[in-house]
A = this chain, B = another copy of it.
Amino acid sequence: MKTLILVLTLAAAFASAASSENKKLIASELIAVSKSEDWRTPSQDNLLYMDLPSGRVIIELAPDYAPRHVTRIKDLARQKYWDGLAIVRVQDNYVVQWADPNAEKADLKRKFKGSDEKLPPELDVSLKELKVVFNKMPDTDTYADEVGFTNGMAAGRDKAKQRTWLLHCYGAVGVGRDTAPDSGDGTELYAVIGHAPRHLDRNVTVVGRILQGVEFLSSLPRGHGSLGFYDNEKNEKPLPIKSIRQGSEVPTNERVNLEVLKTDTPLFKDMLRARRNRKEEWFHFQAGRIDPCNFPILIREKAGFLRL
């Protein structure tokens, strides 16, 4: 027993020394000293692989925040709903949207199994029901009383009302809808490609965020119809989607094994400090604060993984 206590004491001392040492490190150094337990491997079950002619976009879904929509989207992917459909809208400093180009014509719109099941919006979640930890960030936010990260996703929190919701940061993925709150059936999705349009928070269901390949969306030619839709009359055509698949449906040797930095660890606290106070030589002024949408997504491909 004494030996165990000694070991634990020593381990705590080492951990404390390491943690105190980490306080001086810049972001790249923190990544370098990070340990495997500082990273999580998203379940392939919660990933969407969107293959475009130009490259692959990988989205992580957030079933903790939008369980019914995530189930619907996985179901649509298994039905290969989006294969051969298209990117229909690219609005600068706003969103890229994909859907059936004939979505406005009810009789032409591609059908799917399960469309008779109603899909009410999932705009926020009760804090009590949230299964993942909410890690509050220390700085004030323009839009939410509190902001932080839950399982790597930027989120807002209203403590009085005991609700939490995902933020429309760059790379967030949401469910397009018409005017009626429940008019989004999950077939039309969008990704944020500009300054965070936070006025959309709690107006639309956010279902996840892009982990990799956002550039294949953000660098697309802008549309010049109303709201950035591609306009036939301006010789603009929707851009074809090869396929969208749930990661677990992708052949093992074609999967990307990504790891995402955990947001509930001591290392992440140090990372937050390092990003609030940039000590890199180039910086001569430290903001001392950070906005959750200005915090980069930290991912890496799992060591030892071979992509065939």
Contacts and interface: CB of A to CB of B under 8 A. Distances in A.
Given A179-B282, A218-B93, A143 B293 contact: no
A169 interface: yes
A281 B177 CA distance: 13
Contacts of A201: 285, 287
A201 B139 CA distance: 17
Interface string A189-220: 00000111111011100000000001100111
A248 interface: no
Interface in A61-107: 90, 92-93
Interface residues of A, number: 43
A281 B179 CA distance: 7
B92 A218 contact: yes
A278 interface: yes
Contacts of A171: 93
Interface in A270-308: 275, 278, 281-285, 287, 289-291, 293-294
Contacts of A219: 90, 92, 218-222
Contacts of A222: 215, 219
A123 interface: yes
B198 A142 contact: no
A195 B215 contact: no
A195 B289 contact: no
B215 A294 contact: no
Nearest to A178: B282
A42 to B, nearest CB: 20
B198 A291 contact: yes
A45 interface: no
Given A93-B214, A218-B218, A219-B221, A142 B199 contact: no
A170 interface: yes
A29 interface: no
Interface string A109-150: 000000000000001000000000000000111110000000
A181 interface: yes
A281 B180 CA distance: 9
Nearest to A197: B294
A195 B201 CA distance: 16
Contacts of A198: 287, 291, 294
B289 A142 contact: yes
Interface string A179-191: 1010000000000
Interface of A: 90, 92-93, 123, 139-143, 169-171, 179, 181, 194-199, 201-203, 214-215, 218-222, 275, 278, 281-285, 287, 289-291, 293-294
10 contacts: A93-B171, A93-B214, A140-B140, A142-B142, A169-B195, A194-B194, A198-B287, A203-B284, A203-B285, A215-B222
